[in-house]
Each structure stands twice: as C-alpha cells, then as structure tokens.
Structure 1
Amino acid sequence: MELTKGERFNISQEAPDLKKMAIALSWEVTEAGQSYEIDVSAFMLGADGKIPNDQYFIFYNNLQSFDSSVLQSIPDQNNPSQEHKTIYGVILERVNPEIEEITFVVTIHEAQEVNANFSNIRNSFIKISNLDTGSELVRYELTENFSRETAVEFGRLYRKNGEWRFQAVGQGYQAGLQSFVDKYCS
C-alpha cells in the first residue's frame, strides 16, 4: 500500500500475524550532495513524548535499543552508487510496553557548516516489510521539495488502543540531530 503525507496504516489489522518487521529508509544524493554525511536515527518514546533512557535512542553510536526490539543496520559507507539505505529490524513482541512511538528522522551532519540542505536529496522513501517473508506492507515516498530543510522526519510507528500503526510524516525542519536529542531526551 502506498501512503501520502499524513496518512496512517493500521499494521495490526492489515498484518495481524506480523512479529518482525524491516523498516527501510532510502534516498539518493545528487552530485552536489555527494559530500553530505547523512545520519538516520530512531527515537523510542514513552507516553510523555520522551525516551525512557538513552538506550532507546538508536543511531550510529547505539545500534540496538535497550530492550533489543529495534536494531539498526550499518549502512555501507563505501557504496559507489548514489542510493543510500538504512534498515531497522523491529521485533514487535520485544518492544517495552512503556514505548508508545518510534520516530524515524534523517539529518544532514553539520549541515550549517557545509551549507547543506535536502534540496540535493531525492527519491526518498520509508517502507515497512515483513522481515520473515520480505513482502512489503506499506510505503511512503517523500515527494516534497525540501529546499531549506536540514532534517526530515520520515515516519512514525506508534501504538494506539493496543494496535501498531504507521504514519507517513514527511515533515522537514531547519534543525540538526541535536535539536531532536534535545526534544526527545529528558
């Protein structure tokens, strides 16, 4: 299923037997953006909108959540193609019951220092697949032109009434990773 910005998908209803999922975030960088260092992060949030402890912030220096429910793959830094991808493995039954939401954010490292923004990033998407079968459940292609933004929230996985759901967010920000850390960390 293809989503548009803001749309939601009820994973628990559409795939009731799903136990493990792969969440892939992908993008292409133009020639002008080849020098950009892109960071992908997941913030596992409680009911208060904050991470319960630092181990629920999954990024390049912490590739696994405290409860071992979310694992980030290490992207191939030597990939000669212009397509980049980061994949998160999520084991739903392991997610701490305190966690209400997992937000996926992509930022340009030191964007202000290198005068960078997402105008040189294109063909971006986030998709959720069944990790066991490989079948794709839902996809959101970011079609917006982020000409000034240095960070984009691609999507969020969240619980509502005991069911897992996904929302296509596609919200751009003129901010860096530290802004999200400040927002989500206590």
Structure 2
Amino acid sequence: MGINLVKGQKIDLTKGRSSLSSVMVGLGWDPVEKKKSGGFLGGLLGGGASGAEVDCDASVLLLDENGKLQSKKNLVYFGNKASQDGSVVHSGDNLTGAGEGDDEVINVNLNAISPSVHKLVFVVNIYQAKQRKQDFGLIQNAFIRLVDNGTKEELVHYNLSENYAGKTSLFPGELYRHGSEWKFSAVGEGTSDLDIGSIANKYL
C-alpha cells in the first residue's frame, strides 16, 4: 500500500530507490450516483453505471525549468498519446469512469525524460463540459496514484476529497525534478478551464 498523501504534501520518489526508473500514473473517478445505492462506497463497488455519463480526460504537460511548454508535442492526451521524447505514454481514453480501479493510465519512464523537462503536470478535464453543462460536482472518489512499474509497488496514493462542484478542470498532482531526484506533489486544485487546449496555451 502506497503512502497516502494530503493536499499540498510532497514526497521524494527516487531517494532511496535507486532502481526506480518507470512509474505508472493511475487516475480514477466515479460518476455520482443518481440514486442511493450503497452510500458513499457505491461508486467504488461498481454501482457507478447508474450515474451521470461524464467523460473525463487525463492529460500531462511536460514543462521546462521556467514552467513553459516548449512544444505542443509535449502535451500528452488522448489526441497525442506520447511525448516528444517518448518518455510519457498515455494508455487511451476512458469514456465513462464506471467500474473499479484506474480509469486512465499514463506511463512515465523517468530515465528517458528529456533533460529540458523539469516538471510533469497532470490534468483531468471534462470533455465538452460547457456543451453538456457538466462539472466535477458530478464526480466522486477521484484519485491519483503512482506505481513502480518494475516491482508493481504502489508508491503514493492521493484521494481528491474536496468538493469540486462548479470546476471543469482538476490538477491532481505534479512530478518534478529536485536536483537528481524526482518528487511528487499532491496539488488537488480545481479550475474553470474548459479544455486541455486552453490550459496548454497558458504555458506557451
């Protein structure tokens, strides 16, 4: 079981783990139930199929030391599933979030990340949020977790427990360089950005 983080907490991933070279970043969420079925845990137990159909999309921004996106090729999302250096690979789109476990998975090869990349910012958006009149008040049980791809050990787990009603984008966490080490920060911020394209433009 990984270390459970709270909002704002940071953890050194690679210190003391010389063998850590690749991590799986799992992001998950469940639709809020339309009817009570099993209480708060209903979504976790597979009851989410009766909830609102909300299509959440996970993305990653690979930023330089100045916090800038040097190229749109360093925006990894369902429309561009690999970063320019090939170190970050998106597993593909999940349309509903129903069911247990990770809804979208992003694999990060830490050793292959370009030296010019200093931070990986993870984002979750609601697809067509404005057109569908949806926000993160329709989502529950959101989390981000990191797993060592070599040992399959879960390193960290962060449950986004705040109420994000009215928000259409979530920034669950960041991976960033600290000297020769890689750290993870539990961010947990919600914004009103409507799509990953408009978010990316802020970093250009």
Which of the five TM-score ranges fits, normalised by the shorter chain?
A: over 0.9
Deviation at 1:37, TM superposition (A): 2.0
5+ residue gaps, structure 2: 35-50
| 62-71 or 73-82: bigger deviation | 73-82
Equivalent position of 1:158 in the other structure: 176
CA-atom RMSD, angstroms? 1.8
Deviations 1:39-89 (A, max 9, x none): 111000001211221111000110011111010101454886376611111
Equivalent position of 1:7 in the other structure: 9
Q: How does 1:73-152 map to 2 (within 5 A)?
A: 73-77=91-95, 81=99, 85-152=103-170
User: In structure 2, do the counterparts of structure 1 residues 87 and 116 end up closer, same or farther at CA, with 3 Å as the change threshold?
Assistant: same
User: In structure 2, do the counterparts of structure 1 residues 173 and 80 end up closer, same or farther at CA, with 3 Å as the change threshold?
Assistant: closer
Deviation at 1:179, TM superposition (A): 2.7
Equivalent position of 1:68 in the other structure: 86
Which secondary structure does the structure 2 equivalent of 1:12 belong to? coil
Equivalent position of 2:20 in the other structure: 18
For 2:139 and 2:11, the matched residues in 1 are separated by 26
Deviation at 1:15, TM superposition (A): 2.4
Length-normalised TM-score, structure 2: 0.84
Equivalent position of 2:37 in the other structure: none
**Count of paired positions:** 185
For 1:84 and 1:161, the matched residues in 2 are separated by 30
For 1:61 and 1:123, the matched residues in 2 are separated by 26
Which of the pair is proportionally richer in strand?
A: 1
| 168-177 or 29-38: bigger deviation | 29-38
5+ residue gaps, structure 1: none
Tell me if structure 2 keeps the 8 A contact 1:102–1:156. Answer: yes
Aligned sequence identity (%): 30
Deviation at 1:35, TM superposition (A): 2.7
Runs of 4+, deviation exceeding 3 Å: 75-84
The structure with the largest alpha-carbon Rg is 2
